[in-house]
Amino acid sequence: MSTMKFCRECNNILYPKEDKDQKILQYACRNCDHQEIAENNCVYRNEIHHAVGERTQVLQDVAADPTLPRTKSVRCTQCNHGEAVFFQATSRGEEGMTLFFVCCNPSCGHRWRD
């Protein structure tokens, strides 16, 4: 299980961020300029770019990603499992960030929005 990382400068949560030029995964603070390279260089593409048949595997990979924070305070809306990975992302055609959850139950992997 991964733990949340906090900024050394301002103590806010660090979020995974892909540096596409250097092809590395970083943790970055949204309140200051602090960034650090992630120990695990696993980068996931947004599932919207995948074919329907690949979607299940992408969600299982996200649920197993050690760089994403986990919560036990939210239950899966499909199977009622008590652990989920969460992340913020933008959706096509929408402005702003949306909080997404992916169920950590290997037989479920359901994704939902907050």
Tell me the binding residues for Zn(2+).
7, 10, 29, 32, 76, 79, 103, 108
Q: Is the dihedral of CA 108, 57, 50, 46 positive or negative?
A: positive
Q: Please choose, from the candidates 34, 103, 26, 14, the residue with its C-alpha nearest in 3D space to the C-alpha of residue 64.
A: 103
Tell me the binding residues.
7, 10, 29, 32, 76, 79, 103, 108
Half-sphere exposure of 62 (CA within 13 A, CB side): 26
